[in-house]
């Protein structure tokens, strides 16, 4: 019997945790929108895709900043440094989104959007290679609760 429980635990350890899977799925949705933007030729279609990307990015940032990052910051040794850098990157992205919303010129918009894509891809790469693996190991017992909290917040954001 003890062997069976241990095997089950080992199996569960190798499964991606829902909180981590949720963040990775958000990252993928944004990547998909970036690809749609690149493939689009109509300026209005590009702007509509960009607006959808802004909403995804802003929602995702709120989940991380209000729920995920505070836990990583408090519960892991490497957390404070990783979270500080991630928050700085979020601020840069938020500033770019605001600039893009205020930009009317198509060529200027494209150039700024390219910068946004580069900055977001850099941030996601760091997060997926450093913070998320750390969280999977160090926060294993907290991840189900984090996922529930993030899901609730996301529903609240989408409803507002």
pLDDT at 10 over 80: no
What is the pTM assigned to this prediction? 0.86
Predicted confidence band of residue 147 (pLDDT cuts 50, 70, 90): very high
CA 76 to centroid of chain Cα atoms:
19
Separation of first and last alpha carbons in the chain: 49
Convert 72-109 to b/e letters by CB count within 10 Å (16 or more is b): bbeebeebeebbeebeebbeebeebbeebeebeeeeeb
pLDDT of residue 2: 41
pLDDT of residue 17: 62
């Amino acid at each position: 019997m003890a062997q069976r429980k241990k095997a089950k635990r080992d199996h569960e350890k190798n499964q991606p945790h829902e909180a981590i899977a949720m963040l990775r799925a958000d990252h993928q949705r944004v990547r998909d929108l970036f690809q749609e933007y690149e493939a689009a030729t109509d300026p209005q279609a590009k702007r509509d895709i960009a607006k959808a990307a802004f909403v995804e990015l802003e929602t995702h940032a709120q989940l991380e900043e209000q729920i995920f990052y505070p836990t990583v910051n408090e519960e892991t040794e490497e957390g404070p440094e990783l979270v500080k850098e991630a928050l700085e990157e979020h601020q840069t992205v938020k500033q770019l989104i605001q600039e893009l919303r205020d930009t009317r010129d198509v060529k200027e918009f494209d150039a700024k959007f390219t910068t946004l894509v580069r900055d977001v891809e850099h941030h996601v790469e760091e997060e997926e290679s450093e913070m998320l693996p750390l969280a999977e190991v160090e926060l294993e017992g907290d991840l189900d609760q984090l996922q529930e909290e993030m899901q609730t917040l996301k529903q609240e954001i989408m409803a507002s």
